[in-house]
A and B are shown apart, each in its own frame.
Chain A
Amino acid sequence: MIDPSTLANVTLGLIQAVLTLLVAPLLLGITKRVKARLQYRQGPSILQPYRDLAKWWRKESVESDAASPLTAAAPALVFAAVFVATLLVPMVSQRPPLEGWGDLLVVVGLMALGRFVLALSALDAGSAFGGMGSSREVAIATFVEPAFLLALVGTALAAGSTDLGAIAALGVASGISWYTPALLLAAGAFAIVAVAETGHEPVDNPDTHLELTMIHEGMLLEASGPRLTIFTYAAELKLVLVAGLFAAVFLPVGMAQDLAPLSVLVAVGAALAKLVAAAVVLGVLDASLAKLRILALPGLLATASIVAVIGLASRLWLPA
């Protein structure tokens, strides 16, 4: 006999896994479409990312003759890190698909694992572009990671747990009282670095292949065929991960608690709506902001940490 709560969690977890894997390329399509429309262009179909993935998948992989076996292993490792991380974030249900396997620190750790492998593999071909993208990625991450943690820690204190399921559950239970000044400040901080982490304007331009401005694309420049497919798919899934993480902590509404068809439907709809909203926002940002000079980025990204610290201070020092 399977206990009904376990059954609900397994089913909802599977729904989330399938949903995230299916919609990841769609989000990129939406972002690009929104950007194009705002620039008075027709833009590609929102299904174009799927076609790109399929096209690359059918091609052969070309690798540098300077490359080590890491080049072959890296796409799989990066994808595994991002995919497993999404399974630790509650998006459809209040409980993450892999409940009790890891908390928000593990999610941040898995993102670091993906970055480590990707940045390392970018150096493997010995091209200057790989080194350029890789060194920029790790330098920017030094501002992203502390801000992520400082933004999330406040909610962990409120929930008494770093477990994302517990945080989301408390958020749902608190209703409107969840949105304290501290939470809003943390959400603002998270949003700033989320843009950097997913590689959008004003930090990175996902459409560019101009050597001086590439960050993420610079690291993928030597990848081709199925490897490029997996790298790109992992990047698309990372947007789902970051947006899902934001929604689970800062916008925990509409999540399912049981297998009642209506609540599942609502939950899937809510999860989709949140992800699509994130994609639209990124499209608007891409269209309306210019890329910041890379030396000016700390000014923006350090702001996130400072805002997060102010949020923590207000949680700690202001009377509840």
Chain B
Amino acid sequence: MSIASALEGLGSGQLLVAIAAILTLATVAAVAPRSRANPVSLSLALSGVACVGILVFGVSVLASGSSVVASAGDVLGFALIDVRYDALAAIFLVALGIAGAASSVYGIGYQAHGTTGNDRTAAAYPVFLASLALVFGADDAFAFLFAWELMALSSAILVVGSRPTAEVARAGYLYLALTHLATAPLIVAFAVLASAAGATGFSSFGPAAAGLSPTSRDVVFVLLFVGFATKAGAIPFHVWLPRAHPVAPSHVSALMSGVMIKVGVFGIVRFGLQILGPGPEWWGLLVLGIGVASAVLGVLYALMEHDLKRLLAFHSIENVGIILIGVGVALLAVADGATAVAGAALTAALFHTLNHALFKSVLFLAAGSVQSAVGSRDLNVLGGLARAMPVTALAFGIGAAAISGLPPLNGFASEWLTFQGLIGAGGNGALSLVARSAVLLAVGGLGLTVALAVACFVKATGMTFLALPRSPGAADARETSRLMGAAMASLAIACIAVGIAAGPVSAAIGAVADGLVGQSSTSAPVLGPAAVGVPVVGIDAVYAAGRLAVLLGGVAGLTWLVAMRRGTRRVPTWTTGIAPEPAFEYTATSYAKLIRLYFGPILRPAREVSVELHPGTPFPRTVRYRGEVSHVLDERIYRPLHRGAVGAAQLVRRLQSGSLQLYLAYSVAALIGLLLVARS
């Protein structure tokens, strides 16, 4: 063990060691004997400190522009920890640092509510954070897969918890199974690259990839894409995500949706674009197509959900789709040498990655507060929480506006850049006509996604926080603890701040993106404070986020002040003369009905109404309604796959008779077979 054997930049190195040490302490604290007051809180507090360290480290790498290298832990000549943090990794570390710090602080308050209990699975949390920090920096196939597995296992432990219900256990099992299915193509792809390179270090993969035949490169790309797209939860590889994310404790859901699925995005950029690329145009078209499908279907399925956290989980699929649209355009553009467009599109993707980490974390944390205050996350029993839980409501509202892509918040800035990337590619003569047509169609797809996201978050916010409470639990809800409020508030403020400072933030990310796509001259125009300029060939446009935010705030504030001057009388809502009841309100299901019908060909809604009459009268006694939408991909792809896999397992089981003699015969047969193969 030679920790910090190869450190460049002693300050950063010391920070890395400190982060590792604090996370180790945090893990130990969580499994410490139960003599002290609350070891889980201590563990979470230490994790929070480590995340601040990760954030500082990420920013310092971005600011200095030079990579930080470290390695430790040789096992049989393979470095388990062999990291190289460059600017691309640093962007993801910044997202991890912010989301992780807020989630850890929130977690302290959350577990005090007794939601996660005092269980030892909390020890997996610091391990999860460490594995995330490691996976972004891994500089060697073994180190990467080690961190990747650590990340999968620790998050699975957090999803399942110590006393899982049958449903939770199933979700955790599916998650683990699919994560491992996703790892298989990665291992194969790494093996191909490593055998071509003669080494497992990522630095040797680039030259080796250049020497591969076009067909092998295509195969490696597809293998990598399937592996990483599964981790990212892109449709059609998404089935695990809406099941696993909602059942985890909310601060873990926040990290899984906000940061962990981004490892998939990171992998596609690092390996597909940086190491393998530039490839043929169809790589980009593949990623773009998957991106548009994920975005549109993700948000459509989200609209149909009335479980708040499942709804948010489907929105993660949507946002991964938006990110992949940017990555797809970047791949497409580098294929044709249009590096300026590629740089803009990749900037959009990386910026949206950071933004999604911010707003999805605040949304999951607020959903957790709602769940612990009301005891349910079913939108149809929530309602009216804005007055009892103002901090949570405001934080959720800001997060909702940000994820819906509304100016002047951060989500709009990165979606604006994504649109610019699409339009820039559509107008670029270097791209083939098919590619240009595809990106212009994607403009419509992204527009549809944004409009559906607005619909979905009006529904989620309105049903949770506005109008009359729909259940006694919602009526008695109280604001959750100050720590949880502080965590949510700081993330909401970050959404606003990054939105206003979209100019400098996107310029910093743009420098990294330009470096990755080989765009030498960064022509990012500086147009006043916080203006985002797009230096795409053929497209020049500007969005002055800061000034626009000030103007919007000013006009709204003045209007509000002027309208305030008269008194306001508060009376019950007029409901044709009878007392207002929550039953008069639109529910989450009824709110989405029109969209369910409009998009019926995709959603295939089914409903069942049964009326039971009072005997001998035409008056109904009970009316039962059951409605659901079908998830076509689940039914058409995954169910047959699952059935096939179980069938195959049954066949293989016949070999397992339990008889020792038979097993010995298998061994002898295998040995003879191997000898024959080796001889020839």
Indicate if B625 sits at the interface (CB-CB under 8 A).
no
Q: A64-B572, A131-B590 are in contact. Are A112 and B444 (CB under 8 A)?
A: no
Chain A residues with CB below 8 A from B668, complex form: none
Contact string against B for A residues 111-143, beta-carbon threshold 8 Å, 1 for contact and 0 otherwise? 011011001100111111011101110110111
| Contact assessment for A66 and B454 in the assembled complex, using a CB-CB cutoff below 8 Å | no
Stretch at the interface among A35-43, A102-110, A250-258, A274-282: A102-110
Indicate if A27 sits at the interface (CB-CB under 8 A).
no
Indicate if B426 sits at the interface (CB-CB under 8 A).
yes
Chain B residues with CB below 8 A from A70, complex form: 386, 397, 466
Nearest A residue to B572 via CB reads A65
| Distance of A174 Cα from B393 Cα, bound (Å) | 51
Indicate if B580 sits at the interface (CB-CB under 8 A).
yes
| Distance of A142 Cα from B592 Cα, bound (Å) | 12
| Contact assessment for A150 and B444 in the assembled complex, using a CB-CB cutoff below 8 Å | yes
Q: Which residues of chain B (406-432) have a CB below 8 Å from chain A?
A: 406-407, 412, 416, 419-420, 423, 426-427
| Contact assessment for B592 and A135 in the assembled complex, using a CB-CB cutoff below 8 Å | yes
| Contact assessment for B387 and A123 in the assembled complex, using a CB-CB cutoff below 8 Å | no
Chain A residues with CB below 8 A from B566, complex form: 59-61, 225-226
| Distance of A66 Cα from B581 Cα, bound (Å) | 11
| Distance of A305 Cα from B440 Cα, bound (Å) | 12
Indicate if B540 sits at the interface (CB-CB under 8 A).
yes
Q: A68-B393, A105-B419 are in contact. Are A62 and B569 (CB under 8 A)?
A: yes
Nearest B residue to A134 via CB reads B458
| Distance of A189 Cα from B627 Cα, bound (Å) | 35
Contact of A312 among B440, B556, B586 (CB under 8 A): B440
| Distance of A60 Cα from B462 Cα, bound (Å) | 26
Contact of A109 among B416, B446, B559 (CB under 8 A): B416
CB distance from A299 to the nearest CB of B (A): 10
CB distance from B384 to the nearest CB of A (A): 7
Contact string against A for B residues 531-555, beta-carbon threshold 8 Å, 1 for contact and 0 otherwise? 1000000111111100110011101
| Distance of A227 Cα from B564 Cα, bound (Å) | 9
Indicate if A160 sits at the interface (CB-CB under 8 A).
yes
Indicate if A210 sits at the interface (CB-CB under 8 A).
no
| Contact assessment for A132 and B387 in the assembled complex, using a CB-CB cutoff below 8 Å | no
| Contact assessment for B454 and A112 in the assembled complex, using a CB-CB cutoff below 8 Å | yes
Chain A residues with CB below 8 A from B584, complex form: 126-128
Chain A residues with CB below 8 A from B433, complex form: 316-317
User: Which of B544, B553, B574, B598 has the largest count of A CB atoms less than 10 A from its CB?
Assistant: B598
- The DSSP consensus for interface residues of chain B is helix
- The DSSP consensus for interface residues of chain A is helix
Q: A105-B416, A109-B406, A142-B595 are in contact. Are A127 and B575 (CB under 8 A)?
A: yes
Nearest A residue to B462 via CB reads A123
Indicate if A178 sits at the interface (CB-CB under 8 A).
no
Stretch at the interface among A3-11, A71-79, A283-291: A71-79
| Contact assessment for B407 and A110 in the assembled complex, using a CB-CB cutoff below 8 Å | yes
Indicate if B447 sits at the interface (CB-CB under 8 A).
yes
Nearest B residue to A227 via CB reads B563
Nearest A residue to B455 via CB reads A138
Q: Which residues of chain A (45-88) have a CB below 8 Å from chain B?
A: 59-70, 72-73, 75-77, 79-81, 83-84
Contact of A162 among B448, B539, B551, B568 (CB under 8 A): B539
Q: Which residues of chain B (597-617) have a CB below 8 Å from chain A?
A: 597-598
Q: A66-B468, A150-B443 are in contact. Are A113 and B406 (CB under 8 A)?
A: yes
Contact of B441 among A98, A136, A309 (CB under 8 A): A309
CB distance from B446 to the nearest CB of A (A): 8
Indicate if A149 sits at the interface (CB-CB under 8 A).
yes
| Distance of A135 Cα from B589 Cα, bound (Å) | 11
| Contact assessment for A125 and B559 in the assembled complex, using a CB-CB cutoff below 8 Å | no
Chain A residues with CB below 8 A from B447, complex form: 108, 145-146, 148-150
Q: Which residues of chain B (506-540) have a CB below 8 Å from chain A?
A: 527-528, 531, 538-540
Contact string against A for B residues 554-589, beta-carbon threshold 8 Å, 1 for contact and 0 otherwise? 011111101111111111111100001010111000
| Distance of A131 Cα from B585 Cα, bound (Å) | 7
| Distance of A123 Cα from B458 Cα, bound (Å) | 9
Nearest B residue to A132 via CB reads B586
Contact of B582 among A124, A126, A295, A317 (CB under 8 A): A126
Nearest A residue to B411 via CB reads A109
| Distance of A112 Cα from B449 Cα, bound (Å) | 12
Chain A residues with CB below 8 A from B541, complex form: 103, 105, 161-163
Indicate if B92 sits at the interface (CB-CB under 8 A).
no
Q: Which residues of chain A (17-48) have a CB below 8 Å from chain B?
A: none
Q: A135-B591, A309-B441, A316-B436 are in contact. Are A142 and B557 (CB under 8 A)?
A: no
Chain B residues with CB below 8 A from A116, complex form: 401, 404, 406, 454, 457-458
Chain B residues with CB below 8 A from A298, complex form: 598
| Contact assessment for B462 and A100 in the assembled complex, using a CB-CB cutoff below 8 Å | no
Chain A residues with CB below 8 A from B569, complex form: 60-63
CB distance from A180 to the nearest CB of B (A): 15
Chain A residues with CB below 8 A from B597, complex form: 295
Indicate if A222 sits at the interface (CB-CB under 8 A).
yes
Chain B residues with CB below 8 A from A294, complex form: 594
| Contact assessment for B451 and A145 in the assembled complex, using a CB-CB cutoff below 8 Å | yes
Contact of B555 among A79, A100, A101, A305 (CB under 8 A): A79
Q: A116-B457, A156-B423 are in contact. Are A142 and B452 (CB under 8 A)?
A: yes
Indicate if B170 sits at the interface (CB-CB under 8 A).
no
CB distance from A100 to the nearest CB of B (A): 5
| Distance of A80 Cα from B406 Cα, bound (Å) | 13
Chain B residues with CB below 8 A from A192, complex form: none
| Distance of A66 Cα from B573 Cα, bound (Å) | 7
| Distance of A69 Cα from B570 Cα, bound (Å) | 12
Chain A residues with CB below 8 A from B542, complex form: 100-103, 163
Indicate if A153 sits at the interface (CB-CB under 8 A).
yes
Indicate if A157 sits at the interface (CB-CB under 8 A).
yes
Chain A residues with CB below 8 A from B564, complex form: 72
Contact of A115 among B419, B427, B454 (CB under 8 A): B454
Chain A residues with CB below 8 A from B552, complex form: 80-81, 84
| Contact assessment for B466 and A120 in the assembled complex, using a CB-CB cutoff below 8 Å | yes
Chain A residues with CB below 8 A from B445, complex form: 146
| Contact assessment for A76 and B556 in the assembled complex, using a CB-CB cutoff below 8 Å | yes
Indicate if A144 sits at the interface (CB-CB under 8 A).
yes
| Distance of A108 Cα from B407 Cα, bound (Å) | 10
Chain A residues with CB below 8 A from B457, complex form: 116
Nearest B residue to A234 via CB reads B559
Chain B residues with CB below 8 A from A106, complex form: 407, 416, 543, 548
CB distance from B243 to the nearest CB of A (A): 26
CB distance from A119 to the nearest CB of B (A): 5
| Distance of A135 Cα from B467 Cα, bound (Å) | 15
| Distance of A222 Cα from B585 Cα, bound (Å) | 14
Chain A residues with CB below 8 A from B440, complex form: 150, 153, 312, 316
CB distance from B665 to the nearest CB of A (A): 64
Indicate if B405 sits at the interface (CB-CB under 8 A).
yes
Indicate if A292 sits at the interface (CB-CB under 8 A).
no
Indicate if B41 sits at the interface (CB-CB under 8 A).
no
User: Which of A70, A81, A112, A230 has the largest count of B CB atoms less than 10 A from its CB?
Assistant: A112
Q: A60-B568, A139-B455 are in contact. Are A109 and B466 (CB under 8 A)?
A: no
Q: Can you list 26 contacts pairing A with B, beta carbon distance less than 8 Å? A: A75-B563, A76-B557, A80-B559, A102-B542, A102-B543, A105-B416, A112-B451, A113-B401, A113-B406, A115-B454, A116-B457, A120-B461, A120-B462, A123-B463, A124-B466, A126-B466, A126-B573, A126-B580, A127-B580, A128-B584, A130-B586, A139-B598, A148-B447, A161-B541, A295-B597, A316-B433
**Other 18 A-B pairs with CB < 8 A, given A68-B466, A161-B541, A163-B540:** A65-B570, A70-B466, A80-B553, A84-B552, A101-B544, A102-B542, A105-B541, A109-B416, A113-B407, A116-B404, A120-B458, A120-B462, A127-B574, A134-B591, A139-B455, A149-B419, A222-B573, A312-B437
Interface residues of A (CB under 8 A from B): 59-70, 72-73, 75-77, 79-81, 83-84, 98, 100-103, 105-106, 108-110, 112-113, 115-116, 119-120, 123-128, 130-132, 134-136, 138-139, 141-150, 153, 156-157, 160-163, 166, 222, 225-227, 229-230, 294-295, 298, 305, 308-309, 312-313, 316-317
